[in-house]
Amino acid sequence: MKQNAGAASTSIRSDGANKNILTAGLFVPEQIQNGKSLSVLNQEYLEAHGNTPAAGEYGFSEVTIGKYMGAAREGAELGWWVDTDTVLPTNEQAADFVGTFRHELGHALGISLKKGEYKVGGVTYQTIHPDVTENSWSLHLMDQTGKMAKPGMVIATSNNIPAGRTENDCFIVDRTIAANGNGYAYFVGPNVTDALGGATFFGRNALPVNGWETTFEGSHLQTTGMMSHRVYSNYTSFMEVELAVMQDLGYKIDRKAYFGKSIYGNGGTITNTQGYFARNRNGTAYLENTYSAVPLGIGLHIYGSDNMVTQAANIMTRGTG
């Protein structure tokens, strides 16, 4: 097995004679979110028809986790530290297996940039895939200049714009991270705005997204949360704002079942009046004075720095994690 981890979600449309793998397809998310009907792959049919399935639409997601990702710490298995009972890493040198699985599951469920190609003058540029649709992660991305991604938009840096194009019709993200936040893309959505509660990253009411690695990457939230591509993360599960991302991608999640109050801003003087209670059956309101029994729940989550936070009297903030 490779010394790595990865995930993919595949959408296939077949007429029985030929299959078409839809690079920008979202069949698995659509099935989970809206009950989209998908056909069942028949192994005998595949073997008899050269791996082309019967006519229909198919989708599957795959998470692959290799071995020896981390150091050989005592208690770790093949370099992986396994602890299912915490939202904070308890490992040291060994890599966190549960956090890694949840990270890859996020990709399998749609946190993934769908890219195409644009060729001009013998040079190939990446693009936002021309076939991406409304709930795609790709269309929630904003470039460093404030433009939202559009299907087919060329991805470029401010000093390397393709011939015949201008900065106004390209998705601009520079290769170097600057103090003003250039060098990141940004994820934008109403649920993220709500979760941030007025907080910003680099002056933007959005979450920074990884830009260039060898090519443009664009599929990781560059906070200190679990869905980043940083070497170290403070979390083994989704932060509230990461659950808000999933809501903006179309998933029906009651994120307040897992978080009482989240503070993402810096330098605030805050009195927390939001207790952490159980939720009603519809997931629309707290049940006052009823403790939450959600595993790994967090009552008060402070992400930002230099905040002075006090608790109002007589509110419940105890989680079960």
pLDDT at 17 over 50: yes
Q: Looking at residue 1, what is its pLDDT? A: 56
Q: Which residues of 156-175 are buried (b: 16+ CB within 10 A; e: fewer)?
A: bbeeebbeeeeeeebbbbbe
Q: Looking at residue 199, what is its pLDDT? A: 97
**Helix (H/G/I), strand (E/B), else coil: 248:** helix
pLDDT at 319 over 50: no
Show the tokens assigned to 319: 């989680």
The tens digit of pLDDT for each residue in 74-111 reads 888 887 888 998 888 888 778 889 999 999 999 999 99
Average pLDDT over residues 201-207: 97
pLDDT at 21 over 60: yes
The tens digit of pLDDT for each residue in 280-301 reads 999 999 998 898 989 889 989 9
Q: Looking at residue 318, what is its pLDDT? A: 47
Q: Looking at residue 315, what is its pLDDT? A: 66
Q: Looking at residue 169, what is its pLDDT? A: 94
Distance (Å, whole) CA 109 – CA 32: 9
Which helix H or strand E contains 245, and what residues bound it? helix 240-248
- 244, with CB counted inside 10 A (0-12, 13-18, 19+), is buried
Q: Looking at residue 301, what is its pLDDT? A: 92
Model's pTM, two decimal places?
Answer: 0.93
Q: What is the 3-state secondary structure (H, E, C) of 89-139?
A: CCCCCCEEHHHHHHHHHHHHCCCCCCEEEEEECCEEEEEECCCCCCCCHHH
Bridge partner residues of 115 (DSSP): 128
Q: Which of 16-30, 80-94, 195-209, 269-283 has the lowest mean pLDDT?
A: 80-94
pLDDT at 317 over 60: no
The tens digit of pLDDT for each residue in 161-189 reads 999 899 999 999 999 999 999 999 999 99
Query: Cβ distance 237 to 230 under 8 Å?
Result: no
